[in-house]
């Protein structure tokens, strides 16, 4: 019997549009001999709507960015953990069954989706889902927490400090915020992704504005030293029960050709100044070190399912930049491409993640 898979996409975060495109890619790769999809979109206001498959054909167009439209339907999750039945109210208010759900694939990026919130709801309802659990998702989403934990186990991270919005409002002197840090400084929201709200700061006079930009995305800002090194990425995938996590056998590299950093436009809208090299050229010892550090970080932060781990490869070793528990997942995104070059095709990867979700004990 086929498993019913809820593809949950959209969401309230600033990465709503990216999530829509991710859902399109995964829907197209779903093995219809094994799975029946149920498309559930989350509007920017947080409404759960039933979306027809034919309407899931989203593309990243700078002039017409995709969005989950509020079509007037409302999806209802199971009433308790003893049921897996989902229901929907149509535009007239008539309620009908959507059937029994086997697993949820939350293709959500950023807050309210990648940070443990949706994961907590699904665990409350005892519904299996793809990806990391509540604690892992929350830790990885919060850059300050993740860096603190990683540093405590001997994984190198860039020097940083964090400041909350409340602390910032009570400051009378901003001059000390860059103490001990090396320019260029990067200012980031502590809990956001896709480089939304990130600024590259080259002098002290720019710091205040950059922090205020970060606060538009989160109530904690991260102020971080720039690192001189190659920006490389590696993919990690949960092992089957009793088996260790797996790292991709190749890495990708972000090569800068004019841009100062890998911003939102470069990642998704095809702006010039950045080139992706995949597979990137590294030595066998560098690849081994990256793999070891990536798997160590994955295990320390208690990840499951997929993770893309970003490093700086420097003359003195590797510095972990960020860990993403629900990386971009279109067919051309870095995470699936890393596995493609490692011998695991996109459709097989989607199937593997769904099967892992059904076997994972939370």
Length of the chain: 362
d(CA 220, CA 314): 28
Query: Could you give the angle at the alpha carbon of 121 between the alpha carbons of 47 and 79, nearest 5°?
Result: 80
For 121-126, the CB contacts below 8 A with 24+ separation are 121/77, 123/362, 124/81, 125/77, 125/78, 125/80, 125/81, 126/81
Residue 19 CB partners (closer than 8 Å, separation 6+): 9, 10, 11, 13, 107, 108, 109, 113
Write out the catalytic residue numbers.
15, 194, 268, 308, 310, 322, 324, 328
Question: 186: number of CA atoms within 13 Å, CB side?
Answer: 21
Are 212 and 172 in contact by the 8 Å Cβ rule? The answer is no
d(CA 163, CA 221): 5
Sheet holding 185-189, edge to edge: 160-164, 220-225, 185-189, 199-201
């Amino acid at each position: 019997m086929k498993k019913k898979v809820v593809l949950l996409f959209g969401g309230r975060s600033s990465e709503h549009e990216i999530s829509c495109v991710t859902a399109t890619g995964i829907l197209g790769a779903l093995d219809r001999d094994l799975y029946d999809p149920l498309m559930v979109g989350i509007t920017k206001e947080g409404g759960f709507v039933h979306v027809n498959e034919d309407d899931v054909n989203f593309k990243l167009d700078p002039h017409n960015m995709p969005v989950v439209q509020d079509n007037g339907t409302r999806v209802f999750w199971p009433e308790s953990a003893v049921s897996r039945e989902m229901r929907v109210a149509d535009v007239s208010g008539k309620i009908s069954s959507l059937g029994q759900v086997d697993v949820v694939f939350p293709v959500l990026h950023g807050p309210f989706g990648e940070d443990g919130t949706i994961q907590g709801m699904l665990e409350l309802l005892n519904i299996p889902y793809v990806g990391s659990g509540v604690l892992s998702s929350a830790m990885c989403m919060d850059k300050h927490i993740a860096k603190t934990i990683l540093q405590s186990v001997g994984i190198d991270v860039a020097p940083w400090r964090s400041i909350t919005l409340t602390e910032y409002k009570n400051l009378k002197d901003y001059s000390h915020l860059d103490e001990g840090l090396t320019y260029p400084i990067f200012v980031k929201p502590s809990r956001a992704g896709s480089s939304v709200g990130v600024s590259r700061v080259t002098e002290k006079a720019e710091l205040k504005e950059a922090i205020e930009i970060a606060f538009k995305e989160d109530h904690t800002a991260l102020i971080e030293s720039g690192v001189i090194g190659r920006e490389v990425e590696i993919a990690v995938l949960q092992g089957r029960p009793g088996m260790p996590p797996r790292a991709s056998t190749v890495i990708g590299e972000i090569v800068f050709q004019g841009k100062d950093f890998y911003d939102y436009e470069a990642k998704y809208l095809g702006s010039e100044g950045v080139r992706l090299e995949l597979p990137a050229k590294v030595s066998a010892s560098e690849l081994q070190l990256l793999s070891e550090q990536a798997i160590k970080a994955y295990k320390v932060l208690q990840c499951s399912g997929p993770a893309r781990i970003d490093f700086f490869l420097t003359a003195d070793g590797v510095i972990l930049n960020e860990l993403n528990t629900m990386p971009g997942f279109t067919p051309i995104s870095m995470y699936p491409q890393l596995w493609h070059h490692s011998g695991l095709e996109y459709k097989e990867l989607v199937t593997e993640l769904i099967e892992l979700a059904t076997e994972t004990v939370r």
